[in-house]
Amino acid sequence: MLVKEIMTENPACCTADASLQEVAKMMVTNDCGCIPVVEDNAHNKPIGMVTDRDITCRTVAEGKNPLDLTAGDVMTKSVVTVTPDTTVEDCCNTMEENQIRRVAVVDGNGSCCGMVAQADIAINANDSKTAGVVKEVSEASA
């Protein structure tokens, strides 16, 4: 099975200058916990990711006002990607190795064309692979 068979296509994306309130609204509207941050809306090349956890831990927990911040202020700058033709097993391995719950899918031009989340794995992969991904991603790094 390939990533293109299980990914969420055309995910909502934002640029680094998007307000955190805009990002949070996108999460609500799209029923997701992660928004890829792209270089610009024309090319959709991912430069970071903002998760609901990033907003909580990098803003609220630090006493910062989320209404004063942008996606670029709290995003995780390293972006792990796979392609639509990556096997689901290789995608799972990538998620495990990087201890991430979601991975961006990029096309041949490097544009974000999809997302794969643990839920996509749980719905589409066998039980042992799902358990492996959840276990490895959830373990504390050494």
Could you read off the pLDDT of 25-75 as tens digits, one per residue? 999 999 999 999 999 988 899 999 999 999 999 999 999 999 999 999 999
Domain membership of residue 43 (yes or no) is yes
User: With contact defined as beta carbons under 8 Å apart, do 8 and 103 qualify?
Assistant: no
Q: Residue 142: its pLDDT value, please?
A: 44
Q: Residue 129: its pLDDT value, please?
A: 56
Q: What is the pTM of this model?
A: 0.86
Domain membership of residue 142 (yes or no) is no
C-alpha span between 76 and 47 (Å, rounded):
9
Domain membership of residue 63 (yes or no) is yes
CATH of the domain at 95: 3.10.580.10
Closest CA to 46 of 108, 117, 105: 105
Count up the domains in the chain and report the number. 1
Over residues 11-17, the mean pLDDT reads: 97
Output the six-digit token pair for 133.
Answer: 């991904």
Over residues 105-127, the mean pLDDT reads: 90
C-alpha span between 34 and 52 (Å, rounded):
6
Contacts of 108 (CB under 8 A, 6+ apart): 83
Q: Give residue 36's domain range.
A: 3-137
C-alpha span between 122 and 100 (Å, rounded):
15
